[in-house]
Structure 1
């Protein structure tokens, strides 16, 4: 029976241990590292916790451990489904390991980002997963922070640190080559200009065009749907003999903006113009035709980042690791007449 909330003596960890016929150390481990306890014993302890209505004293645990049982996640734009999916994967891993998670949204603002990094220090976070702003990417050093940091999506130049990212140049090259194989020759790139990710994808696009002797057409943009639509609209209003025969977008929000511009111009995909881009967001399967995308392994990115952080927390002196993942090309009707 759950404990009486009005009782002056709430259940203690010793009460849980007695009820579960386990040691207090085992109870503590179930609370902090449940995967480290064998399933039958873990279930017994969790049942005792539920029956007694026990709640751990987190403040006391913090004082004992001299650090909070939490990690931080700072993303560039939580409205971007790419970061939403990564956040979900990180949260799942944190929950499985008995860690609390603080989620912060920097809005690509270095001052806001710095404020959140200071918050993590004040909260004695065990570690932070970070999608850095371009400013921080250029000057990032892991030893500048009082906690381990794992970077996602964006990589600093020549700085050894734990990070997880997509092979951006190769992925963009695959998308560009797909469009070229469909007969497209005037491919305009809507390129996110505020991160290393956008620059790497632009490099892959340009390499594919150079191999075919074709000239690139790059529009550097802030990575939002409004920016993508505004930039694509005048391109589509030009003479059919001069306008692009394909639009390629370096992220899901720019891709959405390009799709809106094509629809507003009354053009047909892929007959009048082909469309392809990054991120397999839910909306990309809804139009007719559906939109060709390079699907990023967002769940793997988030899970791998959390695993790297847990390893770094356990082994602070180990060498940095760089995990580079491949995406999946999903060819659909927006770029291919037959799929």
Structure 2
């Protein structure tokens, strides 16, 4: 059976453009409309009108599209979404993109084709294309990372959290803090980098930033290079819990003790942070609450009760101080 993706490929346009063209959307270039219709006719594509109309009456399924199910932050977000969805009578389809833009695009296409009632998305980057949802009238709420287009958005206070964490390191007497962060097209981690840089500049300290790709060794290589350099850092701010694990791994390999030889503070209060020795200081995000609030907003959008303009909610972060960043002087 010919699918909409086949038409898109034949017409050399996006699935969203095919959907808009076949639904007589006035914003589509007439040249593209003609190309899409010609491709659809040539391939024999016929939308299933009965199934489409049934779906438009209201499916009871949401798509939750996140970037990394192994990240405890997203696990907590997913729990918040699911709990509120169940209360409202919806089921949740969990989609894990593995920080892969192509996988994210496919999941968005599936969500549109299946006419889900709504989508909650943690985008891979600021330029993720969600136009296919708009073309199909599917409400969208974005969590954690902002898009460069208008959409309902809920996140934690990343910049402020990084400022609190870096100020704490300096108050404890660490004078060469470094920031271990993610690719620069990831909005949330960029906010954390900027918070770090704001503090060290105000204190006249050197800036040391290392960008670590997703799905690597947890930043171990970058941290190893830092410590092997001519002017190694005496403390580290890591922008997520996976990088914090990488930092602890390398520090332990070198025989260094957090809090005495090096200060370490990370983002997200994962369950393991209290069982390492010493326990890890963190900037805790209200991950469950972010998911729950995203679900509440999506329900309002589905029911046509939300505000006319997209809403942005930035939820407070909390600095939790433990032994990894509190400086213990050598005797």
TM-score bin (small chain): 0.7 to 0.9
Structure 1 residue 109, shift from structure 2 partner? 1.4
Bigger mean CA offset, 276-285 vs 222-231:
222-231
Taking the aligned partners of 2:119 and 2:73, their CA distance within structure 1 comes to: 18
- In the alignment, does 2:257 pair up with 1:272? no
Q: What stretches of structure 1 of length at least 5 have no aligned partner?
A: 1-58
Distance 1:123 1:274, change over 3 A: same
Deviation at 1:238, TM superposition (A): 4.7
Corresponding residue SS for 1:134: coil
8 A Cα contact 1:188 1:218, kept in partner:
yes
**Alignment check: 8 A CA contact 1:140 1:156 kept:** no
Q: For the Cα contact (< 8 Å) 1:223–1:253, is it kept in 2?
A: no
Alpha-carbon distance, 1:311 to partner: 1.0
Residues 1:126 and 2:90 are matched in the alignment: no
Q: Please point out which of 299, 307, 315 is paired with 2:296.
A: 307
Residue 282 of structure 1: how far off its partner (Å):
1.0
State the Cα distance separating 1:65 from its structure 2 match: 6.0
TM alignment of 1:135-214, pairs within 5 A: 136-137=127-128, 143-144=134-135, 146-157=137-148, 159-193=149-183, 194-214=185-205
Q: CA deviation at 1:135?
A: 5.7
Output the aligned Cα RMSD.
2.1
Q: Which has the larger radius of gyration?
A: 1
Question: Which deviates further from its counterpart, 185-194 or 230-239?
Answer: 230-239
CA distance in 2, matches of 1:337, 1:183: 7
Give how far 1:108 is off: 1.5
Report the alpha carbon displacement of residue 146 of structure 1 after superposing the two structures with TM: 3.0
Task: Spell out the pairing of 1:1-339 with structure 2 (5 A cutoff).
Answer: 63=54, 66-134=57-125, 136-137=127-128, 143-144=134-135, 146-157=137-148, 159-193=149-183, 194-224=185-215, 226-238=217-229, 242-315=231-304, 318-337=308-327
Q: Which has the higher contact order (CA 8 A, sep 6+)?
A: 2
CA contact (8 A) 1:225 1:254 kept: no
Tell me the CA shift for residue 166 of structure 1: 1.1
Is the Cα–Cα contact under 8 Å of residues 245 and 273 in structure 1 kept in the other structure? yes
TM-score by length of 1: 0.76
SS in 2 for 1:89: helix
Paired position in structure 2 for 1:49: none
Deviation at 1:237, TM superposition (A): 3.7
Contact 2:120 2:141 in 1 (8 A): yes
Give yes or no for contact 1:225–1:256 (8 Å, CA) kept in 2. no
**CA 1:135–1:298 in 2, change beyond 3 Å: closer, same or farther?**
closer
Structure 1 SS opposite 2:279: coil
**Residues 226 and 108 of structure 1, relative CA distance in 2, 3 Å threshold:** same
After the TM superposition, list the runs of 4 or more consecutive aligned residues in structure 1 that deviate by more than 4 angstroms: 139-142
Shift of 1:113: 0.8
How many Å separate the matches in 2 of 1:140 and 1:177? 37
Partner SS state of residue 101, structure 1 = strand
User: Could you tell me whether the CA contact under 8 Å between 2:60 and 2:91 is conserved in 1?
Assistant: yes
> In structure 2, how many angstroms separate the alpha carbons of the residues matched to 1:270 and 1:74?
37
1:86 CA displacement:
0.5
Structure 1 distance, partners of 2:176, 2:292, is 38
SS at 1:136's partner residue? coil
* 8 A contact 2:218–2:245 mirrored in 1: no
Q: Does the Cα contact within 8 Å between 1:191 and 1:220 map onto a contact in 2?
A: yes
C-alpha displacement at 1:140, in angstroms?
Answer: 5.3
After TM superposition, give the deviation of residue 230 of structure 1 in Å.
1.7
CA contact (8 A) 1:187 1:246 kept: yes
What is the SS of the residue equivalent to 1:226? coil
